[in-house]
């Protein structure tokens, strides 16, 4: 089922992001995570695609397996290091596996001074969106950045770029993680003022450790609000207490989103189930929602 049709359904939409496991032990944990989180009947799941397509084959394998066992799958696809021919080949494989949804991303530019974009490729995500939209009949999602993309000169300019992606065929938006709901609601308002009217799904990262918060804020440029910083400072030397307080913070964040009428929650699971399970139970999310 296409995500754009799923999002039109009545009730709360729950989805998860997974990444392809690298080692046999990781794969065992991955499928255990999928099984445990299946209790909530996710409306769709997404599978990431490593930087520069580094996990290409494994991403396709995992996406195909998830689709085969009944999940609505969103396959991430980056264009930064790929030719049009390679992208077309990947799209054909996805189509053959009955995967109808793509999250179209530029991807991170390699940290290599000699890197050059492929001549027969794309520099920007909007070009990839247009290519997919014109050629393959997929439902296309794109990324949104409530605090602005790290490379964008301003949030307003970044939202204007998001509008271009929507104009080229994007059907929905999944946001980067954020720790303060004000950023998400401001982003929604700004997007609406620019004429963006596709669904914008909030991306939620369950907070579980000090190192995790530091790593993700550095990677994504997300701001740590005062309330969360106080939790981090108070419990940084007590991992279990920080985990409990971090999950409680995420529960409050999700509860506020739901109270204010948000119908979508997309969880960055990091291929682990306990934190997301706890959050869903604390929120009293029912397995049957539609």
Residue 109 has a pLDDT of: 66
| Mutual angle of helices 210-220 and 226-235, in 10-degree steps | 140
| Mutual angle of helices 210-220 and 239-259, in 10-degree steps | 50
Residue 253 has a pLDDT of: 98
Say if strands 101-105 and 139-144 run parallel, antiparallel, or are unpaired: parallel
Give the catalytic positions in this structure.
17
Residues 76 and 47 sit within 8 Å (Cβ to Cβ): yes
For residue 82, pLDDT over 70 is answered with: yes
Beta-carbon count within 10 A of 278 CB: 18
List the one residue out of 212, 211, 151 whose CA is nearest residue 177. 212
Contacts of 160 (CB under 8 A, 6+ apart): 194
Question: Residue 56: what are its φ and ψ, rounded to 5°?
Answer: -45, -60
Q: Which uninterrupted H or E stretch holds 57?
A: helix 56-68
Residue 107 has a pLDDT of: 74
pLDDT tens-digit map of 261-288: 999 999 999 999 999 999 999 999 989 8
pTM given for the model: 0.95
> SS3 of 232, please?
helix
What does the alpha-carbon distance between residue 130 and residue 119 come to, in Å, rounded to a whole number?
A: 17
For residue 52, pLDDT over 60 is answered with: no
Q: Which uninterrupted H or E stretch holds 101?
A: strand 101-105
pLDDT tens-digit map of 226-246: 999 999 999 989 999 999 999
Please give the structure tokens belonging to residue 230: 């106080």
What does the alpha-carbon distance between residue 111 and residue 250 come to, in Å, rounded to a whole number?
A: 32
Q: Which domains does the chain have, with CATH numbers?
A: 3-282 (3.20.20.220)
Please give the structure tokens belonging to residue 280: 């869903």
Least confident of 20-24, 74-78, 174-178, 266-270: 20-24
List the helix and strand counts (H, then E) for the chain. Answer: 11, 8
Residues 66 and 87 sit within 8 Å (Cβ to Cβ): no
Residues 211 and 155 sit within 8 Å (Cβ to Cβ): no
pLDDT tens-digit map of 125-167: 999 999 999 877 899 999 999 999 988 999 999 999 999 999 9
Sorting pLDDT into bands at 50, 70 and 90, what band is 110? low
Contacts of 54 (CB under 8 A, 6+ apart): none
């Amino acid at each position: 089922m296409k995500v754009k049709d799923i999002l039109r359904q009545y009730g709360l939409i729950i989805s998860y992001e997974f990444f392809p496991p690298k080692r046999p032990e990781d794969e065992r944990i991955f499928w255990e995570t999928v099984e445990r989180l299946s209790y909530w009947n996710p409306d769709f799941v997404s599978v990431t695609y490593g930087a520069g397509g580094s996990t290409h084959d494994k991403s396709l394998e995992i996406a195909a397996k998830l689709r085969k066992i009944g999940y609505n799958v969103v396959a991430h696809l980056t264009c930064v290091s790929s030719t049009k021919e390679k992208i077309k080949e990947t799209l054909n494989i996805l189509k053959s596996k009955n995967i109808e949804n793509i999250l179209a991303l530029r991807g991170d530019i390699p940290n290599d001074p000699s890197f050059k974009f492929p001549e027969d490729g794309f520099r920007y995500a909007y070009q990839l969106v247009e290519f997919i939209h014109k050629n393959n009949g997929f439902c296309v999602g794109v990324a949104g950045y409530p605090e602005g993309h790290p490379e964008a000169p301003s949030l307003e300019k970044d939202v204007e770029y998001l509008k271009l992606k929507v104009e080229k065929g994007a059907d929905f938006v999944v946001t980067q993680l954020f720790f303060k709901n004000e950023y998400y609601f401001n982003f929604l308002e700004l997007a609406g003022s620019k004429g963006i009217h596709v669904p914008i799904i909030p991306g939620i990262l369950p907070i579980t450790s000090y190192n995790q918060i530091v790593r993700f804020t550095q990677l994504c440029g997300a701001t740590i609000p005062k309330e969360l910083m106080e939790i981090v400072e108070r419990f940084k030397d007590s991992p279990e207490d920080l985990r409990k307080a971090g999950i409680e913070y995420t529960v409050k964040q999700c509860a506020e989103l739901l109270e204010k009428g948000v119908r979508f929650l997309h969880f960055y699971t990091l291929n682990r189930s306990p934190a997301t399970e706890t959050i869903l139970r604390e929120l009293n999310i029912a397995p049957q929602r539609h």
